[in-house]
Amino acid sequence: MTDRAQMTLFTFLRDTGSHLAGWRHPDAYDGGLHQFAYYKALAQTAERGKLDAIFLSDTLGFRHIVGKDAYSRLDLCHLEPATLLAALSQATQHIGLVGTLSTTFFEPYHIARLMASLDHISEGRAGWNVVTSLGENEAHNFGLAEHLDHEVRYDRAEEFVGVVKDLWDSWEDDAFEGNKASGRYFDPDKVHALNHRGEHLAVAGPLNIRRPRQGHPVIVQAGSSATGRAFAARHADAIFTIPTNLEAAIAFRAEVFALAAAAGRSEMPRVLPAIHAVVADSEAAALAKYQSLNDLIDPALSVSLLQMLLGGVDLSAHSIDGPLPDDIPQTLTNLTTRQGLIDLARREGLTIRQLAVRASVGRGAMMMAGTAEQVADHMQAWFAAGAADGFMLSQPYLPGGLDDFVDKVIPILQARGLFRTQYEGATLRDSMGLSRPPHRFVADPSRHAEPQIWAPMKQADGPTRS
């Protein structure tokens, strides 16, 4: 059982939808890529539904999943998340704004500054989806011959997130005085440097922006490997998962909570399984709508996507209507998605063609096609069973899929007392029922370091503090 009274609901805004052929649906947006008015309308629809946050995924490379004669709009080209979210913050008032930024190819100072700026601009609605990046195509854009090893990426991410949190806490909340009479703009005893030198990073600090409105923007993480689960348990406020079944989801949440408690956390993260819902007035109509989407999938394209998600394997020697081979090689990337798809194929006896179709619908995540009542029943059952604290909504096509969910499913969840009817508080942390993190340097004064640049300036007044 969950101890939460109401669900947390995020939604992906993934261009024209999460389904590989979603862009081909007659009701999908066809106004061309990168139209701000389109994203503005989506964000406002999500806010009308009182959702906690919109979520922008991202990669730092061209996702070339098949030969040049076949094409997909999925993950092809998209706007940079922090820029788009800053613009959307001015078109919305309450909904959270979560963007993906990589710990492998950014530096901590960049991300700390971007997220702090977004948090101030949005008046406390920023969230950072922490990723270590997925594939070789990204590594090749940053001077690397191959992607970093999985464990190395997470070692760097562990150090990286700690540095970012310290940078967010460079200034105490009341450090800025702005005293015109005395001429003192800030209290120098309330600014903290890092002077950090670790295995992967060297960052002096302090950050040149005041502490974020939320203290720390909400941290989201999606790693489901053993290393990823431990990392999320230490750092994440929300964990995005792709569950294979109810029992596995219950076990995942229980394990993450145990790891979080062992790490000394008193406030547990929100576990948000992905759900792809096709909603219609009857179950038959919903199933027909789902099948019509699947009928639009190019088989060669779906198999190419499957090969990419399995880590770049070549399945061309195997019949598309035969089983997945037993000898799928290990890979440096997509570890959790890869294993989830293999387990799905084995458990349900799927052919390569069938598995490719399932991978084309949100990479094999939970798929629901039914009435609004049926979708709400399913979500309530998972929530009540302790499998979820809420959900990451992922519409197969947009904008119609989001409209259907907001207009048909949300009112049912609200009527059952499972979801808010009004936003609580002003920030994303308020909406999610999360506390504002304590200031790391105030909580532990021994961690204080003087800004290095102050040393020569303070010589006339005596030695600097250590």
Is residue 217 within 8 A of residue 121, CB to CB? The reply is no
Between 272 and 450, the more confident residue is: 272
pLDDT higher than threshold 50 for residue 139 = yes
Chain position carrying tokens 């890979």: 331
Cα(163)–Cα(227) distance, integer angstroms: 19
Domains and their CATH numbers in the chain: 8-170+207-280+365-435 (3.20.20.30)
Tell me how far the alpha carbon of residue 25 is from its chain's centroid: 26
The strand pairing partners of 160, in sequence order, are none
What span, in angstroms and rounded, lies between the C-alpha atoms of 44 and 306?
33
pLDDT value at residue 76: 66
- Please, are residues 107 and 167 in contact by the beta-carbon 8 Å criterion? no
CB atoms within 10 A of CB 330: 7
* 3 state SS of 343: helix
More reliable by pLDDT, 264 or 357: 264
Q: Phi, psi at residue 9, to the nearest 5°?
A: -125, 115
Tokens 């039914």 map to which residue?
370
Q: Residue 182 has what DSSP assignment?
A: T
Dist. CA 111–CA 104, nearest whole Å: 11
Percentage of residues in the chain with pLDDT exceeding 90? 58
- pLDDT bin (cut points 50, 70, 90) of residue 464 is very low
Q: Where are the alpha helices (DSSP H) in 102-245?
A: 108-121, 136-139, 150-168, 226-235
CB-based burial, 114-128: b 16+ in 10 Å, e otherwise: bbbebbbbbebbbbb
| The predicted structure's pLDDT at residue 392 | 96
Q: What is the mean pLDDT of the chain?
A: 87
Nearest residue to 149 via CA among 140, 137, 163, 139? 139
| Mean pLDDT on 360-376 | 85
Asked if residues 17 and 395 have their Cβ atoms less than 8 Å apart, the reply is: yes
Q: Any idea which residue has 């990204």 for tokens?
A: 138
pLDDT, one tens digit per residue, over 154-195 is 888 899 999 999 999 999 999 999 999 999 999 999 999 999
Q: What is the pLDDT of residues 42-91, one digit of tens each?
A: 999 999 999 999 999 877 676 655 444 455 545 567 899 999 999 999 99
* Other Cβ atoms within 10 Å of 291 Cβ, number: 12
pLDDT > 70: percent of the chain: 88
Is residue 165 within 8 Å of 216, Cβ to Cβ? yes
Give dist(CA 246, CA 369) in Å, integer: 17
The pLDDT score that the predictor gives to residue 316 is 83
Tokens of 424: 């609580």
State the helix-helix crossing angle for 150-168 and 108-121, rounded to 10 degrees. Answer: 50
What confidence category does residue 462 fall into, taking pLDDT thresholds of 50, 70 and 90?
Answer: very low
Helix/strand/coil (H/E/C) assignment for every residue in 393-407: ECCCCCEHHHHHHHH
Structure tokens at 113: 């500054």
For 96, the 3-state DSSP assignment is: strand
Q: Which of 60-69, 207-216, 292-301, 316-325 has the highest mean pLDDT?
A: 207-216
Q: Are 195 and 449 in contact (CB under 8 A)?
A: yes
What integer pLDDT is reported at residue 45 of this predicted model? 98
Say yes or no to pLDDT of 412 above 70: yes
At 405, phi and psi to the nearest 5?
-65, -45
**Which of 237, 223, 248 minimizes the C-alpha distance to 102?**
223
For β-strands 196-197 and 53-56, DSSP reports them as unpaired
| Contacts (Cβ under 8 Å, ≥6 apart) of 415 | none
Gap between the Cα atoms of 326 and 279, Å rounded: 36
- Determine contact, residues 92/49, Cβ cutoff 8 Å: no
Buried b (16+ CB within 10 A) or exposed e, 380-396: eebbeebbbbbbbbbbb
Counting beta carbons within 10 angstroms of the beta carbon of residue 142, is it exposed (0 to 12), middle (13 to 18) or buried (19 or more)? middle
